[in-house]
Structure 1
Amino acid sequence: MAIAVVLQITTNFVSQAFSILIPVLRDEFAWSPTAIVLAYVLRSIVSAVVSPVAGWVGDRYGARRSLFVAAACYIAGLLLLSTVSQIWQLYLYYGLVLGIAQALFRVNIPTTVAAWFR
């Protein structure tokens, strides 16, 4: 349960703290705020589209495997974000990779915790 709470807090922090990064990315790379926020929008869209698949993956392969894949995607996405130099990289790493991780976490953590308390 503690691991689920930590994972949920961590993924929520990265998601909710995105607005703090907008001025930094704008100043560092001279990107428009609109272009930067598109990465957040892409992450939300990818997460919404992948969520049904994430539920199927959790049912088919179990919580341990699906959450391992989610953690691997999440760690890879954060590490790749440290190498961003072009806007398309932000879209790919934050929008796609972290969007997939978010879907896997947000679908499988609550269902796993709910199953523990049946």
Structure 2
Amino acid sequence: MKVLIVDDSRVIRNMIGRIMKTFGYETHEAGNGVEGLQQLAEIGVMDLILVDWNMPEMNGLEFIKAVRADSTHANTPMIMVTTESEMDRMALAFMAGVNEYIMKPFTEENIGSKMEILGIGTAV
């Protein structure tokens, strides 16, 4: 099981990565949307993508739209993990194609429960 973590913060990528590894996932990381698309092109289909909103070069919303436009990844579950808490921002993310939304700060339980909602569960 593979997960892609797209966030410009190395600290956040490491935190999510540790959580995903406890769930038994192989993790891949990208510092922005452009790098995330490169990872998808190189590695292929992921079982889950976690993405931040605010990043340089290509933000999370742009990344989500690009992923959804690609038939290879159109159905990949995506969770936005962000500090954006306004309802209109959340609505924009869901309209772009994100499946679930988590606000920072987050816990292992937050991520695990969203994965359960998506029917992904954990590999452990």
Same fold per superposition (TM over 0.5) = no
Whose strand fraction is larger, Structure 1's or Structure 2's?
A: 2
Given the two structures, how large is their TM-score scaled by the length of structure 1?
0.24
Higher normalized helix content (fraction of residues): 1
* Structure having greater relative contact order (Cα 8 Å, sep ≥ 6): 1
TM-score, normalised by the number of residues in structure 2: 0.23
